[in-house]
Amino acid sequence: MSQTKSEKNVSLHAGQRKKSLMIFAALLLTAGTGSAFWYVNYGVGSEFTDDAYVNGNLVQITPEIVGTVTSITADDGDYVVKGQELVRFDNSDADIAFDTAEANLAQAVRQVRSMFNNTEQAKAVVAEQKIALRKAETDLSRRKNMVKAGGLSQEELSHAQDTVNSAEKALAVAEQQMKAQEALIVNTNVSTHPLVKNAIAQLRQAYLAKQRTALIAPVSGYIARRNVQVGQRVNPGSALMAVIPLDQVWVDANFKETQLTGMRIGQPATITADLYGDKVEYHGTVESLGIGTGSAFSLLPAQNATGNWIKVVQRLPVRIQLDAEELKAHPLRVGLSMLVDVDTGNSKGELLSQTSPAKPRYQTDVYTRQLDGADGIIGQIIAANDTQSSTLYVKK
């Protein structure tokens, strides 16, 4: 009876072991299948990182002249358009300097016009002296004939010769004076004379300084990092605020060096932001791969050749260009955390860019327009002070 019971216990334990082994095998199979599914669908041909952040252009607003702030028209978070005034300085000194430059230009135009008139006068004097010389020579010739005929004394002939000599010397002096006057205006007109051009340059400088009393937005965007106050005396180069165009941001994703083996420029990327969560998905492309690690470009690079050394896997920045329409629908802010998944299945792209940009990455033309109104003022001053000239001022 006890033997039968023992056999039953052995049989029961054997059945439990078999059941446990089957459950364990099933778990292994499930884990293997799940691992294979993840490897095939996610592990092969993609690289993921959560060490990624939004970055963008930080356009600094800095003065080019010394000034005292009298007004501020934009604050942090405000949207400004290209060319909009942001900060204004006291323009009293600039107005005085501009008025002085206008007067100097007017005076220079009148002075140069006087030079041209003096040249014409010198030419008239030369012509007059030539006439006087011809008359003296004619008188001398006539007196010579009269002396031969015995109708005139030798003394009077000598006086006639002195008159000719005096006329020749007067003509030589007049010609030298004419050349001196011509040398002052040679190959120029009133608007291209060096004195006038120097006055024009001074007026343009004064006009530019007057325009620079108003700081304008180089691009359209949002104001950030305002650190200027009314009444503050600022120097050239001081960072007063910044304009950030949020429609041109990108993502800097920091991948481990072991993840960059199959990564190439142009590969597609899927990005999500912690701001919007998984419901909003951005699509972008790899624009460039980092040419150095963060530690290599740090202020104090690591000195691995001294002391104890522990190898640390380095990270390199990868710039991801975002789709403009998606960015417009769901705006991002600079510094936001992002999740980046790069599809590395197609590795035919370049590892590093081999061509230089065909055009500027980012630019503005607002500063080149600051002198647009100066040329009209210059033309008016020249015309008002040189009524004899029909030459219009044209910027060279």
Task: Write the pLDDT tens digit of every residue in 313-367.
Answer: 889 999 999 999 999 999 999 999 999 999 998 888 888 888 888 888 888 989 8
* Sign of the C-alpha dihedral computed for residues 143, 145, 147 and 152 taken in this order: negative
Outline where 150-193 has alpha helix (H).
154-185
Q: Which residues pair with 132 in a beta bridge?
A: none
If you ran DSSP here, which 8-state letter would residue 43 be given? I
State the burial class of residue 386 (Cβ atoms within 10 Å of its Cβ: 0-12, 13-18, 19+): buried
The pairing of beta strand 79-80 with beta strand 241-244: unpaired
C-alpha separations of 85 from 65, 238, 363 in Å: 16, 17, 18
Tens place of pLDDT per residue across the chain (396 aa) = 445 556 555 565 666 767 777 777 778 888 777 766 655 555 557 899 999 999 999 999 999 999 999 999 999 999 999 999 999 999 999 999 999 999 999 999 999 999 999 998 999 999 999 998 898 888 878 777 776 666 666 777 788 788 889 888 999 999 999 999 889 889 999 989 999 999 999 999 999 999 999 999 999 999 999 999 999 999 999 999 999 999 999 999 999 998 988 899 999 999 999 999 989 999 999 999 988 887 776 666 766 666 676 777 889 999 999 999 999 999 999 999 999 999 998 888 888 888 888 888 888 989 888 888 899 999 999 999 987 765 555 555
Task: Give the Cβ contact number of residue 385 at 10 Å.
Answer: 19
Q: Which helix (H) or strand (E) holds 364?
A: none
